[in-house]
Amino acid sequence: MRVLIISDIHANLNALEAVLAATEKFDAAWCLGDLVGYGPDPNECVERVRSLPGLQCLVGNHDKAALGEIDLNAFNPDARAAVSWTQNALSPSTREYLQNLPEAIEMGKYTLVHGSPRQPVWEYILDARTALLCFPYFATSYCLIGHTHSPMIFSQEAEGGECKEKKPRNGERLILDNLRYIINSGSVGQPRDGNPEASYAVLDFGAAVWELRRVPYDVTATQLRMAGFDMPERLIARLTYGW
């Protein structure tokens, strides 16, 4: 079974479509949250994700914010403006779909969360120190996360042992062996690792091989749509650079 792993689409339909066009046929899609927020096409992105085969989908902090379930003061001014815009843009059917998404899912050897296994919606795992503290909080061998918008692989050899981190490159494969892993496949719609290309992963479930993918998309087209809605300039500009 081939699984498409996507996260943090953030209402960027051009990026999502580029990912889907670039990926060979897959049997299931695991979407790790933040379908909306920041970008100009929240309803279209949710609809597209819902059409994917074998879908497992989580809620993220921006999805919850768009539903009014999180205090807007928890966001910086630009993000707050984007959340307000999204709140007004959501259709009733999108709202209903987002409201029913879970915060965590287990699929065989994989635990899926948006942020971290100990705080599924909010915690950022940005470094090995934080990842080390999170390993005891999931029961499966591997944990798949999003939220930071930067692809990263954290590994631990033995319980309580040292945690290593590695930034994977486009096309890099990881054979999921006896180590425990926390793996972030980056963001489809708003990468923040200095590379503007959409970031995602493909998992060969049977062989347990994970592969990072990067794909360029029409950034300008997304930016023009955002400008048309008077979205914050900083949020528009960051897509060019991937920060």
Q: Which is nearer to Zn ion, 1 or 74 (CB)?
A: 74
Tokens representing residue 186 in the block? 């980056």
Nearest-10 crossing angle of helices 42-50, 13-22: 30
- For CA atoms 221, 49, 180, 129, give the dihedral sign: positive
CB 58, CB 101: distance < 8 Å: yes
Task: Name the residue nearer to Zn ion (CB basis): 8 or 197.
Answer: 8
Residue span binding Zn ion (CB under 5 A) among the ranges 5-13, 96-104, 156-164, 207-215? 5-13
Q: What does 73-135 look like in DSSP terms, one character per residue?
A: GGS-HHHHHHHHHHHHH--HHHHHHHHT--SEEEETTEEEESS-SSSTTT----SHHHHHHHG
Instruction: Select the residue whose beta carbon is closest to Zn ion and give its number.
Output: 34
Bridge-partner residues for 159, per DSSP?
none
Q: Which is nearer to Zn ion, 116 or 155 (CB)?
A: 116
Compute the least distance from the CB of residue 162 to Zn ion, in Å: 29
Report the site for Zn ion in 14-53 (rule: CB under 5 A).
34
Q: Is 193 in the site for Zn ion (CB under 5 A)?
A: no
In the complex, minimum distance from the CB of residue 206 to Zn ion, in angstroms, rounded to a whole number: 30
Which of 6, 8, 20, 42 forms a contact with Zn ion (CB under 5 A)?
8
Report the interface residues with Zn ion, using CB under 5 A: 8, 34
